[in-house]
Amino acid sequence: MEGVTPEQLLDTPDLIAVGVAGDDVRRRMHGLRTTFNRVFEIHVDAPPHALPARTHAGELRIIGRAANLDVLLATARSAVALAGRAPVTVFSMADVIALHGSVRTTCGALKEAGVAAIVHLPLDLVELPELVAGDARSAGLDVLTLGIDTLDSESRLELCRRAAGLQTAIGGFKAFAPLPRTMSVTQPTTGYDDVKQIALARVVVGNIESIQVDWALYGPKLAQVALTVGADDIDNVAAVDPGVLGTRRSPLEEIKGNIKAAALEAFERDGLFRARLDGAQP
């Protein structure tokens, strides 16, 4: 659909043409290269004393909303003690803001505790995202990914344009995750909607390097389709291999197999979007 406007892309019922448009941009930017990240999640209220056996994490990610900053800092220090070479991150900027302190002060304390970055800034939940991201960066923490918590049909294009505008304004974002993390009970998105949103994001948000899909949230089937219509990064692949299905059925081999089946080439990264070559335990 060369020369088509984003509005036409959003309105057309021709899903194949939409996918081709997204894939064309993706291939111009990345060729066959497809990145993925294995994540070990740590709930802020339940930090482990040790990592499980057969953990191969490119990132230790703190999730959940802490009751206060002291709880978050204690969990961060515990995670850093376990992490080795893997970066420790806090997932959502919305959870940082919910602590009701200065974002710059909170992020400075997290940096001092050993946290490397904030993973996700949800555009529909965070007011004044330019100022919030700037405060985090001033405190020494990168904000890596722009995302969306909830999505309705009226805001699909507007949120993509907001992501592109924020990147133009301040730069520094590594990825845009255009699929919602919270599903509406009354108006859930369909696979058709999700494929369109991935392609639309790749066409509209050309100034952010990667379009991302969450493996744990959306599953291998949609993630694989997303890779053929504009996505190039898979986040949140399981970092723990239970060891019950054999080497060929491990999380690592499953993600590599899915990427290969989409006729693409898999490259593992860490939580800071750096190439990960060792694949070893942190």
Per-residue pLDDT reduced to its tens digit, 103-153: 999 999 999 999 999 999 999 999 999 999 999 999 999 999 999 999 888
- What Å distances lie between residue 24 and 5, 28, 29, 89, CA to CA? 15, 6, 9, 33
Residue identified by tokens 């919602």 is 180
- Report the helix count and the strand count for the chain, using DSSP H and E: 10, 9
Per-residue pLDDT reduced to its tens digit, 181-222: 987 666 667 778 899 999 999 999 999 999 999 999 998 888
Is 0.85 topped by the overall pTM?
yes
- Average pLDDT of the residues of the chain: 91
**Residue 280's pLDDT is what?**
43
Q: What are the residue boundaries of the structural domains of the chain, listed by start? A: 6-269
CATH topology of domain 6-269: TIM Barrel (3.20.20)
Phi, psi of 258 (to 5 degrees): -65, -40
> Which pairs count as long-range contacts for 149-155, CB under 8 Å and 24+ apart, including other chains?
149/94, 149/122, 149/124, 149/125, 149/180, 149/181, 149/182, 150/124, 150/180, 150/181, 150/182, 150/184, 151/124, 151/179, 151/180, 151/189, 151/197, 152/184, 152/187, 153/187, 153/193, 155/124
